[in-house]
Structure 1
Amino acid sequence: MELARLDFQQLRVKHIAHKSKVRAVLYGGGYSERYFQEDNPVSQWFSTVGSVKYSREAWFPQLYRLHRDFSVLAEELIKMYGSDLIEQAHEGLGELSAVSEIFLHTLSTIERQYPS
């Protein structure tokens, strides 16, 4: 199941990169609607690798839900930032980080279930 570990490592990297992209937008970086709605690398992982290889696993819906929770909160914070509620958007980063930590912890727990 070494391939599963690679899949999970790939998902972890994509999630961290996505979180960095959200943070960058909230600190004045460029916003791409397409990236956040269509080209989000984590969503792409779930719709390709995840749905093909793991959709029947008991953990899949929970991990996907955590990703959706993260994405919805990220979109809310970006909308706040775009509405000049910059301080409130920055305050929301703590909650976003908490959701991210839960996602990453859950992913690590899942990963340990697969033999090396």
Structure 2
Amino acid sequence: MKKSLLILPLLLSGCTTYQHLIDEIHTDTLNYQCDEKPLTVDINQQRQSASFVLDNKLLHLQQGLSASGARYTDGIYVFWSKGDKATVYRRDTVVLHNCQLVSNKD
């Protein structure tokens, strides 16, 4: 019984590691140059979410409805992109203007 209790945390940590790897496979990191500053956004297609740091806070936004392009929101912040352009809003006020996708150099 004690051995099985010792193995359980290892199995659970393996599940966590596996899920982390799956998340990485389904996540695209996009780099934008906005008028105000650079912005790095992680888009997870499987979870339909976008994450980025703004105002020293890590934001996690869920995909919402959009007539065109892709829109992610948490009810306060909105990340909206179409093609290679993006905009970030806070409570209907634009906080990052003219964000242009920057090609990643590998």
Taking structure 1 as the reference length, the TM-score comes to: 0.25
Higher relative contact order (CA 8 A, sep 6+): 1
Higher strand share: 2
Q: Which has the larger radius of gyration?
A: 2
Taking structure 2 as the reference length, the TM-score comes to: 0.26
Higher helix share: 1
